[in-house]
Amino acid sequence: MNLSQVAAAFRPFDTLAAQLLPQVEDDAGDGSHDLSHLLRVWNNARRLQAEEGGDLRILLAAVILHDCVRVEKNSPLRSQASTLSAQRAQEILLSRGWTQEDAQRVAHAVQAHSYSAQVTPLTLEAKIVQDADRLDAIGAIGVARCFYVAGRMGSSLYEALDPQAQQRPLQDTRYALDHFPAKLFRLQDGFQTAAGAAMAQARQERMRGFVEQFLDEL
């Protein structure tokens, strides 16, 4: 994919997308936070916006810029990633003539999207971006991303003698399977919009079904 082709997928905001995408073109080789991820989150956001409302221009900018500062999952700075991205997003938009108010709306949505940052989304757009990003972390895509990241970080699939962590603490930085109860199964309870919660329920069922099948094969 080249950037012009990707920008076209963000219609009717393809011109704005073409301006912002070069700011996030370098994904540091992270296939779980690449251009495909941005497109999936945008598609989620549009589906949510169609039911919940919200400013699509703000949503588009927040979606494209929500990971504009790259911080690896195993970095001690991981909890600050969304704050760093929010600061950078605001700088980018102000340099392109956005008003302070609109740039701040985007920045808030960027900062609040992160699970680890624990920032409460206060605007509808921030709630939609958080839900749209979390939808991409669960379901079939979520399963794929979980094992992709585990491989990238050098983690094992599961702990051989106690895969369900019945007699040990969860260690999702060491075992991919631990990441499901440690985080992914918990995401469904935190959705901000009714439309997002409904989509999350379906994806949660797919993800739980996968884990049940995985354990059955063990």
Query: What pLDDT is recorded for position 12?
Result: 87
Q: Which domains does the chain have, with CATH numbers?
A: 1-122 (1.10.3210.50), 137-218 (1.10.3210.50)
What's the pLDDT score for residue 158? 98
pLDDT digits (tens, 9 = 90+) for 12-71: 899 999 999 998 866 667 777 888 999 999 999 999 999 999 999 999 999 999 988 877
Average pLDDT, the chain: 92
pLDDT reported for residue 59? 98
> Which pLDDT score is estimated for 30?
79
Q: What is the pLDDT at residue 42?
A: 96
> Over the stretch 102-139, which tens digit does the pLDDT of each residue have?
999 999 999 999 887 788 999 999 999 999 999 999 99
Contact 140, 202 (CB under 8 A): no
- pLDDT given at position 216: 97
Nearest to 134 by CA among 68, 59, 205, 191: 191
According to DSSP H, which parts of 53-113 are helical?
56-65, 81-95, 100-112
Q: How many whole angstroms separate alpha carbon 62 and alpha carbon 85? A: 10
Encoded tokens for 202: 């379906």
- State pLDDT tens for residues 132-181: 999 999 999 999 999 999 999 999 999 999 999 999 999 999 999 999 99
If you count DSSP H runs as helices and E runs as strands, how many of each does the chain have, helices first?
Answer: 10, 0
Looking at residue 25, what is its pLDDT?
64
The structure's pTM equals: 0.92
Residue 117's pLDDT is: 79
